[in-house]
């Protein structure tokens, strides 16, 4: 088996984890609430969520998350260039996004000491832990969607129960 990620564009859901795993979904929802109550800006949380979705090739919620990011004040320009944001001048959050990318791609990239030193200089108090939590929460939701073939919303305005 090669390292290429397998995509499931037209598959049936394997399991309705919202209905059959309510305790797991409740725990994940609590994790999301903790992230939203943290000292991270809502727009940064949404950028991290979208970046993780892009890295994990998990298209299930990108449209909804992009709408959430727009409501949090994100521009189309920044959303369109998010995955290459570290190469642009209009992301002040480059270190935060690099940290999220390194954690998400931990097999290929590593959360190096030099990246940590950059993050530590920019963030104070609980922000590094909260950024790590936001990255992990987004990745965990991706794993549920990928594992159980969560179907994409039927309309661009449909929302999932979380």
CA pair distance 50, 56, nearest whole angstrom = 10
Give me the tens of pLDDT residue by residue for the chain, a chain 162 residues long. 444 455 545 567 777 777 777 898 899 999 999 999 999 999 999 999 999 999 988 776 888 899 999 999 999 999 999 988 878 888 888 889 999 999 998 777 778 888 888 888 777 778 888 999 999 999 988 888 878 777 654 333 334 444
What 8-state DSSP symbol labels residue 65? H
Counting beta carbons within 10 angstroms of the beta carbon of residue 9, is it exposed (0 to 12), middle (13 to 18) or buried (19 or more)? exposed
CA pair distance 103, 53, nearest whole angstrom = 13
pTM (predicted TM-score):
0.78
CA pair distance 107, 140, nearest whole angstrom = 16
Which residues lie below 8 Å from residue 120, measured CB to CB, with a gap of 6+?
128
21-148 architecture in CATH?
Up-down Bundle (1.20)
């Amino acid at each position: 088996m090669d390292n290429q990620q397998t995509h499931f564009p037209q598959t049936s859901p394997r399991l309705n984890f919202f209905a059959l795993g309510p305790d797991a979904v409740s725990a994940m929802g609590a994790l999301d609430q903790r992230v939203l109550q943290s000292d991270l800006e809502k727009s940064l949380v949404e950028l991290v969520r979208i970046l993780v979705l892009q890295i994990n090739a998990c298209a299930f919620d990108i449209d909804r998350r992009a709408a959430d990011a727009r409501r949090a004040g994100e521009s189309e320009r920044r959303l369109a260039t998010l995955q290459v944001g570290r190469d642009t001048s209009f992301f002040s959050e480059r270190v935060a996004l690099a940290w999220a990318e390194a954690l998400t791609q931990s097999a290929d990239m590593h959360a190096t000491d030099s990246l940590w030193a950059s993050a530590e200089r920019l963030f104070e108090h609980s922000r590094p832990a909260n950024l790590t939590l936001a990255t992990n929460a987004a990745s965990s939701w991706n794993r549920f969607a990928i594992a159980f073939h969560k179907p994409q919303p039927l309309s661009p305005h449909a929302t999932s129960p979380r």
